[in-house]
Amino acid sequence: MKDEFEDYVFRELDNPNPHSKKNLIKANQAELVGAVKVSVEEDSHDGVKIILKKDKNDTIKEIKFVCSCGQTKSIILDYSE
């Protein structure tokens, strides 16, 4: 029962070379950029699921809309001034 209410924090990695044609990122090439919480809104509206990506302070960083047809659209929020 405890697991149902626990927030999971994941480490977020960034690839410093996004133009690489390889699907594999070696550990020495990856860059740790922070921690995120990912939550999926299961109430889909017309076949669209909403995925919220938050930092560990529960500030929303990205909103992703995933259609049942496979297309995705993202809104990335930048709070820096």
Based on the structure, what is the number of domains in the chain?
1
pTM: 0.58
- Residue 81 counted as domain residue: no
For residues 1-9, average pLDDT: 58
In 3D space, the residue among 81, 44, 80, 75 whose CA is nearest the CA of residue 62 turns out to be: 75
- Residue 47 counted as domain residue: yes
- Residue 70 counted as domain residue: yes
Query: Which residues span the domain enclosing 32?
Result: 2-76
- 3-state secondary structure labels for all residues of 18-47: CCCCCCCCCCCCCEEEEEEEEEEEEEEECC
Number of neighbours of residue 5 by Cβ within 10 angstroms: 6
Distance of CA 58 to the CA centre of its chain: 13
For residues 43-69, average pLDDT: 81
Residue-wise pLDDT for 9-44, tens only, equals 777 777 767 666 777 777 777 777 777 888 776 665
